[in-house]
Amino acid sequence: MMDKQKKTEILAPAGDMERLQSALDFGADAVYLGGQLFGMRAGAPNFDPETLCEAVRLAHSQNVKVYLTVNTLPRNSEFALLPEFIANAVRAGVDALIIADLGVFQMVRELAPDMPIHMSTQTGIVNYATANVLYQMGARRVVLARELSLEEIADIRAHTPEDLELEVFVHGAMCVSFSGRCLLSAYFTDRDANRGACAQPCRWKYYLTEEKRPHLPMEIQEESEGTYILNARDMCMIDHLDKLAQAGVTSFKIEGRAKSAYYVSVITNAYRMAMDAYLKNPENYQLPDWIHEEVFKVSHRRYCTGFFFRHPNACQYYENSGYIASCDVVGIVQKCENGRIYATQRNRFFAGDTLEILAPGQKPVVVRPEKIYNAENQEIQTVNHAMMEFSFAYDKAFPVNSILRMPVKNPVPEETEIR
């Protein structure tokens, strides 16, 4: 099993160039991103042919791979657009295409026979027979369905070729439907989730109505606010990377192409550090507490461990569909020189506030700037203008794009244990 563990990958989302840079800065081995068509995150900025080329050049300059999503289920009229899309992917030099549809698969095999293919979680791969068929067809990697347990993943690994890579989602938003194949959004809003335009109706409040009493909506359970019966918690496997690696997982995928650059930075860094700690000493692995705490410092729904431990007792969250966060990002480091940190503002804070600095591959450092200066070197009491430049004295230097953040006052309480 250890031979199969040697090749591990932290795979981070990149919704645009800013989030791509965050993934690169904070330790991703690979990124996945979407073009202007055929991607399952139509609401993200995504990449046109020109910026895709730029993204690949940037990532490859740092030895990071780029996987392009082609994972919608295109209709007949859309297939005429695929040859140009595939040609642009080849021209850009992406390292693989992520595909869900067999017709798209065949077209890629014909038009770009040397392009590695990763089968998307949208394919719904839940057994080794399907994984083996896809491998025989030419797939390099399968992204396993999120409904699988650790035991089932290990069984797939034991019955598939060693060079077939196994990828699983380890962090981020989940969907109540089977591997994302959902019709609710199209039914309610005419926005097709299987073509990247999900309106997330699973997060809405629902009531029951009786045919002869449409004016009397009935609560599904006792709370007067209704219930979010379809609303899934977020997945978080930060405490269990060792178990995933031992099951034979090759690539550890973070959901979030529509999430913020701050989210990408913090979560990529946490999983990078957790994986490095595991690989350094797999026999006696123990996750440091500070890494566990990092996942709570981004905006998220309440966490669970999905189906990995067989019965997802706590996957659904019925109270609301809101987010929780214990920290706000207040600035991004631009440079450090002459005993000062220079940064640009993201949220307001005051002189004397307690902040943390998160740098790639490092434990957060607590700072409390008693004096803050604006771009004209004038002392100020608050940093309250969007994107304003500021500085403060500190005797340690940090890399460019390190993050300044501040604990949220009176955060929403939540569980500290991830089941």
Question: What is the distance, to the nearest Å, from the Cα of residue 301 to the centroid of all Cα atoms in its chain?
Answer: 13
Distance between the two ends of the chain, CA-based, in angstroms? 26
Site of tokens 């009176």: 410
pLDDT value of position 174:
85
- In the three-class reduction of DSSP (H, G, I as helix; E, B as strand; rest coil), residue 1 is classed as coil
Task: State the DSSP code for 301.
Answer: P
pLDDT for 28 beyond 50: yes
Q: Which helix (H) or strand (E) holds 350?
A: strand 349-350
**Greater pLDDT, 200 or 91:** 91
Interatomic CA distance for residues 389 and 387, integer angstroms = 7
E strands in 147-221: 165-173, 208-210, 213-218
Domains of the chain: 2-172+236-289 (3.20.20.70), 327-407 (2.40.30.10)
Q: For residue 209, what pLDDT band results from cuts at 50, 70 and 90? A: confident
Give me the chain's average pLDDT, please: 90
Give me the sign of the Cα torsion angle 75, 131, 181, 234.
Answer: negative
pLDDT for 70 beyond 80: yes
pLDDT tens string 103-132: 999 999 999 999 999 999 989 999 999 999
The answer to whether 318 and 228 are in contact (CB under 8 A) is: yes
pLDDT tens string 241-265: 999 999 999 999 999 998 999 999 9
**Greater pLDDT, 197 or 293:** 293
pLDDT value of position 2:
38
Interatomic CA distance for residues 90 and 88, integer angstroms = 5
As a whole number, mean pLDDT of residues 226-239 equals 83
pLDDT value of position 176:
74
Number of neighbouring beta carbons within 10 Å of residue 207:
11
pLDDT tens string 130-165: 999 999 999 999 999 988 999 999 999 999 999 999
Tokens matching residue 15: 């919704």
Contacts of 129 by beta carbon, 8 Å cutoff, 6+ apart: none
For the stretch 122-154, what's the b/e string if a residue is b when 16 or more beta carbons lie within 10 angstroms of its beta carbon?
bbbbbebebbbebbeeebbbbbbbbebbbebbb
pLDDT value of position 206:
82
pLDDT for 6 beyond 60: no
The answer to whether 10 and 272 are in contact (CB under 8 A) is: yes
The answer to whether 404 and 343 are in contact (CB under 8 A) is: yes
Number of H helices, E strands in the chain: 11, 22
As a whole number, mean pLDDT of residues 12-16 equals 96
The answer to whether 291 and 242 are in contact (CB under 8 A) is: no
Strands 389-393 and 372-374: antiparallel
Q: For residue 316, what pLDDT band results from cuts at 50, 70 and 90? A: low
The CA–CA distances, whole Å, from 402 to 259, 286, 343, 364 equal 18, 26, 9, 10
Full DSSP string of 88-125: HHHHHT-SEEEE--HHHHHHHHHH-TTS-EEE-GGG--
Q: For residue 102, what pLDDT band results from cuts at 50, 70 and 90? A: very high
**Greater pLDDT, 38 or 292:** 292
The answer to whether 398 and 336 are in contact (CB under 8 A) is: yes
pLDDT for 339 beyond 90: yes
Site of tokens 């004295």: 393
pLDDT tens string 270-294: 999 999 999 999 999 999 999 999 9
Contacts of 110 by beta carbon, 8 Å cutoff, 6+ apart: none
**Greater pLDDT, 323 or 359:** 359
